[in-house]
Amino acid sequence: MKNQRGVAISGLLLWGFVIVLIALLGMKVAPEYMDYFKILKSVKSISAGASDQTVPQIRAAFDKYADVNYLKTINGSDLDISKEGNAVVIAFSYEKRIPLFYNVSLLIDFHGSSSGN
């Protein structure tokens, strides 16, 4: 009698279900991380040239970046702007709730700063 090799249909269905769940989770979470990295890039580019600007000018510059990059998550008034030495540090934090299914959702806390901390 020969030994059988291969995958049983139950194993195939189980692994297919797991792969589909991971793919769906990735499709829901990936856009939020892309928005986070767009915000971080905008904040870093604004802080690089903001040594002589006032706080309202920095907030207005971020709002312009947000309009161009279609960022609706935060706006200029949500930024924490401070000065460390001669450098302007722009920090932000926000929460994003991603509905997964029925009454289950995923909550992600995003924090970022132009100083890299």
* pTM across the whole model: 0.82
Token pair listed for 75: 């706006």
Q: What mean pLDDT do residues 5-28 have?
A: 91
Tens of pLDDT, residue by residue over 54-109, are 889 999 999 999 999 898 899 999 999 998 888 889 999 999 999 988 899 999 99
Residue 117: its pLDDT value, please? 63
Q: Which residues, in sequence order, are CB contacts of 114 under 8 Å at separation 6+?
A: 43, 44, 46, 47, 48, 88, 89, 90, 91
Residue 39's closest CA among 81, 83, 72? 72
The sign one gets for the Cα dihedral 77, 79, 80, 86 is: negative
Checking if the pLDDT of 1 tops 70, the result is: no
Q: How far is CA 11 from CA 15, 20, 29, 104, 111, in A?
A: 6, 14, 27, 27, 40
Q: What percent of the chain has pLDDT over 70?
A: 98
Checking if the pLDDT of 22 tops 90, the result is: yes
